[in-house]
Structure 1
Amino acid sequence: MTTPISVLLVDDQPLFRRGVRMLVDSQADLTVVGEASDGAEAVTAAAKHAPDVVLMDIRMPRADGIAGTRGILRSAEESGRTPPRVIVLTTFDLDDAALRAIRAGASGFLLKDAEPEFLLAAIRAVHGGHAVVAPGAIGDLLAHVDARPRPATAASSAAREEALGALSKREREIFTAVAEGLSNAEIAAREFVAEATVKSHVGRILAKLGLRDRVQVVLYAHDHGLLPRR
């Protein structure tokens, strides 16, 4: 029998946690292993229960979800544990707090009023190594709330080349396509290769650049001035 995906719930509202616990535990392949009411408790609970996935509210008293996400991933790295995937939950779309949580290492974000089926699918998706927000949506989020200027100097051009220096020509092409928000199927069609080949290339790109998922590819491209100008 396959081991269920273990989930840690982090939210300062007990009623919300209870509802999500009932939903998650109703699934044969999912199980809630612990709860926490703020980011600091989440770090302790994650170290104790070693969950596969953390559902993390962003706005909580004392320590918020951004601090919790950062602390959980840092604790796992320092102890040599496999870090959990973190999904942050927010009440506002295109939220700067969601972007800050993603920059802290979250694999994506969901609105707290998302359909139950979507929440369950998101847990399974991040456990499988995927992001729960389409990279294109992250691009919209960056454009909406992140005003940092993109590099435009000769020095920054050299930095961009150095950033991609570890990638082969084909990997650079696929990196750009991922950063633009294309799916594996869309990239395969554009590059005239099998979808499995694209998946392999994406895996190597993540490993070479030290990135966790496709969302981080978009952030990396943005921060190095590699996204197409809008």
Structure 2
Amino acid sequence: MIQVLIVDDHAVVRSGLVQLMDGRDGLTAAGEAADGDEAIAKALELRPDVVLMDLSMPHGKDGLSATSELKKRLPDVAVLILTMHDDEEYLFRAIHAGASGYILKSAPYEELLGAVRHVAAGQAYLSPSATKRLMSDYLDKARSGDYAGSFESLSDREREILAKVAQGYSNKEIAEQLFISVKTVESHKSNLMEKLDLRTRPDLVRYAAKKGLLNFD
């Protein structure tokens, strides 16, 4: 049986997921948690095969922070993000945190059950509905060559910051890692986006992916 720990701050949602999972097609609900801190404690206690993790939880650790810590402490546990956020930025941040899969709460229950089995088997799962817009936009830009700026025009520091921003690090985290001020990070970020003619963070992530800068090891 595949043991699943269900993490969501809404008791009604957790109850519905327990009923969906428990005893169905080789799955069982090993336990529940209402926030990221409780999820980590329960995972350490129960050692589930899969943690079904919500992203937005107002109390304690959020889903991304909890996923990152869980993967450090229990690297063999698969984390499947279940969220309402149909947003490529959250998708990349979830992958960077160590999640094995990403699926929307609007997905059919058959898709959710299949996603749980995929990640439990050591495979990655990205919901088609979660990635459709990302891939469509990326392919459109790749075909049209709509990346006006020149990568070669970036300084080594700007390239370094480009990669870290795309991988989901905040300005503060980048500043701490590179031993520079937050203002300096913001200045480099503004300059590189201007050089590359990029307007939004998702644009930056897509550009970094095209250049092979998204290293999630």
Identity over aligned pairs, percent = 38
Are residues 1:18 and 2:11 paired? no
Quote how far apart the aligned CAs of 1:152 are.
Answer: 4.0
Partner of 2:65: 67
Q: State TM-score, norm by structure 1.
A: 0.57
Q: What amino acid does structure 2 have at the position aligned with 1:44? A: A
Quote how far apart the aligned CAs of 1:96 are.
Answer: 2.2
- Contact 2:35-2:57 at 8 Å conserved across structures: yes
Quote how far apart the aligned CAs of 1:114 are.
Answer: 1.1
Structure 1: state its 5+ residue gaps.
Answer: 78-82, 144-148, 157-218
Q: State TM-score, norm by structure 2.
A: 0.60
Partner of 1:129: 122
Q: Distance in 2 between matches of 1:24 and 1:116?
A: 10
Quote how far apart the aligned CAs of 1:137 are.
Answer: 2.9
- Indicate how the Cα distance of structure 1 residues 65 and 154 shifts in structure 2: closer, same or farther if over 3 A, else same: closer
Q: Deviations over 1:148-184 (max 9, x none)?
A: x99547998xxxxxxxxxxxxxxxxxxxxxxxxxxxx
Q: Distance in 2 between matches of 1:134 and 1:14?
A: 24
The within-5 A match list for 1:41-120 is: 41-61=38-58, 62-77=60-75, 83-120=76-113
- Contact 2:102-2:127 at 8 Å conserved across structures: no
Q: Deviations over 1:114-145 (max 9, x none)?
A: 111110000001111221116993892795xx
Structure 1: which 4+ aligned runs deviate by more than 6 Å?
153-156
Partner of 2:134: 140
Q: What amino acid does structure 1 have at the position aligned with 2:97? A: A
Q: Distance in 2 between matches of 1:29 and 1:36?
A: 21
- Contact 1:88-1:110 at 8 Å conserved across structures: yes
- Indicate how the Cα distance of structure 1 residues 93 and 139 shifts in structure 2: closer, same or farther if over 3 A, else same: closer
Q: Distance in 1 between matches of 2:123 and 2:30?
A: 22
Q: Distance in 2 between matches of 1:70 and 1:94?
A: 19
Are residues 1:225 and 2:211 paired? yes
- Indicate how the Cα distance of structure 1 residues 138 and 130 shifts in structure 2: closer, same or farther if over 3 A, else same: farther
- Indicate how the Cα distance of structure 1 residues 5 and 226 shifts in structure 2: closer, same or farther if over 3 A, else same: same
Partner of 2:171: none
Question: For 1:6, what is the secondary structure of its paired residue?
Answer: strand
Q: Distance in 2 between matches of 1:11 and 1:150?
A: 43
Q: Deviations over 1:171-224 (max 9, x none)?
A: xxxxxxxxxxxxxxxxxxxxxxxxxxxxxxxxxxxxxxxxxxxxxxxx9x9568
